[in-house]
Amino acid sequence: MKTFLALFTVIAIVLACARNPVTGKREIVLVSESQEIALGAQSHVSAQSEFGFLEQPAVQTYVQSVGKKLAAVSHRPNLQWHYTAVDSPVINAFAIPGGYVYFTRGILAYINNEAEFAGVMGHEIGHVTARHSVSQMTRSQVAQIGLGAASILSPTVGQFGEAAGGALGVWFLKFSRDDERQADQLGVEYAARAGYDPREVSNFFDVLRRLSDAADRETMPGWLASHPDPGERVTATRAAAQEWIAKLALAPEKMAINRDAHLRNIDGLVYGNNPREGFVEEGRFYHPDLQFQIAFPTGWKVENTRSAVYALAPNNGAQIQLKLANVPQGTTAEGYARELAAKGTSPVSGGPTTINGNRAYLALYALPAEGGAAVPVIAAFIEHRQRLYEILGPMTDLQRYRSPIESAIRSFDQLANPRILAMQPDHLRIYTARQGDTLQSLAERYANPRVSADDLALLNRLPPTQPLTPGRLVKVVEKGY
């Protein structure tokens, strides 16, 4: 029987071989192109919910126009490509199988011209054309061969989830350093083939080298975390650029850079964190758009995402999660609690109450966990401005954490402070330099406490005290709050 299974496995793997579009070599691939596209479409819906797409049609049009040029010269020109700018301040770009490529507003702000952008986009397109994510999923499937050869031939490849960790997990598959280097090379190649100056690609990696030393900048897994050393990338991409210029016999005057066009296309981007979507000030979390506030326990780490805000105890022994309940409009707090009880989740104690004038349901639950133990969870459902909020507080020690979690829940209240309600985000603006201007003088003129002259220097790749050429376009950050 073992011999039969081993033979069956070998046959299955041989049948699953496919030719890599980039290298032309035959590789073991357990995800077909149609499955790859279906996974991308599924993940794209999740991406919109998790990150939010940038609501600036002009920026989206720009991103798509550059993508169209690069797709045409890629190794998979017939794939239906999708390019999207997402509303995130982190400095990153990422791609998922099936031709879905994303760029954060954070990375768009630091890219200095269209040729650089083409290199970054070409890198992400390269991950898709070389099927790096599909290879990662295949390796995961092959590692599970011992669980039964029949699973290899599953028509849905374990519904994709087992291999990729679900729709969200596929975004963050960690590529090998060799995959990243190959994507860098493809980025240079595609930029050159599309008519851009490929030498500009290395300039962005030089900026990454400087950003990687800034501890206060957060990134999604990717451009500053899992990729090769930025210094190494500068050297490698510069060499590759010269090779492609020679190979394609590109004349300097025919290689596009399009600096001013890129800058005009990103004029008005929200820069940094958007206070409209929630922020912490003096220990209290405020959400101007949803008009609520809450005081999390002192010393707890607060992390705000698009879908929820979290507060974590210093020793990780408890957590508070606040989000909008996924229920039909008009669902009441007590009604929601009854629905949960009907599905088998009943409270140990608690019931209907009022929290700062809002109808609510506050209760203690004991939820099952691994090993048969029960996890105590303080849960509250609060009606506020025709929405239902869900606050969950799982903990390891009921006696220690019950009081601070309940106090935080009971601090949930209407936001009425006019100053906070009126807060607006900072915006990237494109300024035309005048005689006598420097980035230092512009930083003083715009007086944004979150953006120094050194920050402007990094955004523009210029020394802060160097006189600016009159008429030159430069990036400044207009203060919003």
Mean pLDDT of 95-113: 94
Long-range Cβ contacts of 467-470 (<8 Å, 24+ apart): 467/436, 467/437, 467/438, 468/433, 468/437, 468/438, 468/439, 469/433, 470/433, 470/434, 470/435, 470/437
More confident of the two residues 449 and 154: 449
Fold of 275-421: Protein Transport Mog1p; Chain A (3.40.1000)
| Cα-based angle 424, 427, 431 (whole degrees, multiple of 5) | 140
Averaged confidence pLDDT in the chain: 85
pLDDT on residue 170: 47
Residues 6+ apart with CB under 8 A from 302: 280, 285, 296, 309, 310, 311
More confident of the two residues 227 and 51: 51
Select from 127, 124, 21, 20 the least CA-distant residue to 67.
Answer: 124
Residues of the chain with CATH 3.40.1000.10: 275-421
**Is pLDDT above 70 for 224?**
no
Place of tokens 């401005």: 385
Q: What is the 3-state secondary structure (H, E, C) of 28-73?
A: ECCCCHHHHHHHHHHHHHHHHHHHCECCCHHHHHHHHHHHHHHHHC
Residues of the chain with CATH 3.10.350: 426-478
pLDDT on residue 227: 57
pLDDT on residue 59: 97
What does the alpha-carbon distance between residue 182 and residue 138 come to, in Å, rounded to a whole number?
19
Contact 131, 20 (CB under 8 A): yes
Q: One-letter amino acid identity for 123?
A: H
What are the pLDDT digits (tens) for 349-358? Answer: 999 999 999 9
Contact 428, 267 (CB under 8 A): yes
pTM (global) more than 0.85:
no
More confident of the two residues 98 and 294: 294
pLDDT on residue 161: 30
pLDDT on residue 39: 82
What are the pLDDT digits (tens) for 328-349? Answer: 999 999 999 999 999 999 999 9
What does the alpha-carbon distance between residue 304 and residue 259 come to, in Å, rounded to a whole number?
34
**Is pLDDT above 50 for 374?**
yes
Select from 230, 231, 246 the least CA-distant residue to 198.
Answer: 246
pLDDT on residue 218: 45
Mean pLDDT of 454-481: 96
**What is the torsion angle, in degrees rounded to the nearest 10, for the CA atoms of residue 275, residue 280, residue 282 and residue 285?**
110
What are the pLDDT digits (tens) for 113-151? Answer: 999 999 999 999 999 998 876 555 544 443 333 333 322
Mean pLDDT of 380-408: 97
DSSP character at residue 364: E
Q: What share of the chain is helix, strand, coil (3-state, %, to 5)?
A: 45, 20, 35
Confidence at 23, pLDDT banded by 50, 70, 90: low
**Is pLDDT above 60 for 215?**
no
Contact 223, 236 (CB under 8 A): no
What are the pLDDT digits (tens) for 441-455? Answer: 999 999 999 999 999
pLDDT on residue 15: 40
Confidence at 157, pLDDT banded by 50, 70, 90: very low
pLDDT on residue 429: 98
Mean pLDDT of 297-310: 93
Confidence at 308, pLDDT banded by 50, 70, 90: very high
Confidence at 49, pLDDT banded by 50, 70, 90: confident
Q: Class of 426-478 per CATH?
A: alpha beta
Select from 17, 10, 106, 99 the least CA-distant residue to 59.
Answer: 106
